[in-house]
Amino acid sequence: MSGDAPSADAAAADASSADGSRAADATDAAAVEEGEPRPATYYHLARAVLYREFLIFVRYPANAIGGIVVSLFFFAALFLGGQLLAGQALTDSIEGIVVGYFLWTLSVGAYSSVSNDIGSEVQWGTLERHITTPFGFAPVALLKGVAKVVRTFLTSAVILAVMLLATGTRLSLAPVTVVVVAGLSIVSVLGLGFAAGGVTVLYKRIGNWLNLLQFGFVALISAPVFDLSWTRVLPLAHGSAMLQRAMVDGIRLWEFPLADLGLLVAVAVGYLLGGYLVFQSATRRARRLGVLGDY
């Protein structure tokens, strides 16, 4: 019995030592985990980009309010000038004009959010920082564009409310239908913004040409998709027709034919992927030419 006691004590000491070693290893692992930065994910990137857009909106409210005032000024000029020239004809089609102008403000915001932002990054000399991030520049630019689209939706909603009050127009405003149809419609414009941003990286100062395309959105929104069926594959055209039916005629999302919904999704995805490929090709060429950081 007396000979077994030292063995039991040794076993207990060994167990205690092992437990202490494991505890020390756990403490060291926790310390290492706390000391080392955690790898960033797309969730962190999206949160940072959305927070940045919120801060810009809060810190510079005069600029945001100014954008709303300018948009309302142009609509007032369109509405009052149209009344003088067309009279009752304009009044009979005012619902379509309000919906079209609402979609145009969204389109301009989505397009400029990518193309102008990339141009600003080139001008400020911060483009290389985005290129060297673990995510790459294209995902960062896309998420920044999505963040600006969210903000544009909010400001365009204010513009829409003022237009409805000023004109006495009543529209069907089913939130899910309007957000889904309008959102998918302007995804194709994000693709155009990507392509324009890639060209900006390559050729730098082409702002006048990029701004000219914004007025082309008017023709796309008013395209006669029922008379010319091939115009449905153009950006904004098919989505504009569906948004008119949703907001003017009161058609809900689930009441649209599956073929119309499928074409809307296909056009959105097709132009977004096409713009992404143009952007990637242009940035690779800028790297080969050594003009990525030039301005």
How far is Cα of residue 117 from the mean position of the Cα atoms in its chain?
Answer: 12
Residue with tokens 């952007």: 279
Alpha-carbon distance values, 181 to 6, 149, 158 (Å): 80, 14, 18
Q: How far is CA 17 from CA 7, 12, 133, 174, 230, in A?
A: 15, 8, 45, 68, 79
The mean per-residue pLDDT over the stretch 50-60 comes to: 81
pLDDT at 31: 41
Q: What percent of the chain stands above pLDDT 90?
A: 9
Residue with tokens 């067309």: 86
pLDDT at 269: 93
* pLDDT of amino acid 67: 80
Nearest in space to 109 (alpha carbons), one of 70, 150, 49, 59:
150
pTM for the whole thing? 0.77
pLDDT for the residue numbered 258: 93
Across the chain, mean pLDDT equals: 76
DSSP secondary structure code for residue 3 in this structure: T
pLDDT at 167 over 70: yes
Neighbours of 136 (CB within 10 A): 13
197-223: per-residue pLDDT in tens? Answer: 888 777 766 666 777 777 788 888 888
Q: What is residue 140's predicted lDDT score, i.e. its pLDDT? A: 78
Mean per-residue pLDDT for 227-236? 84
The rounded distance, in Å, linking the Cα atoms of 167 and 186 is 25
Residue 259 pLDDT: 92
Q: Which residue has the higher pLDDT, 121 or 174?
A: 174
**272 contacts 266 by C-beta, under 8 angstroms:** no
What value does the mean pLDDT take over residues 135-152?
A: 79
Q: How far apart are CA 181 and CA 187, in angstroms?
A: 10
CA distance 172 to 287: 49
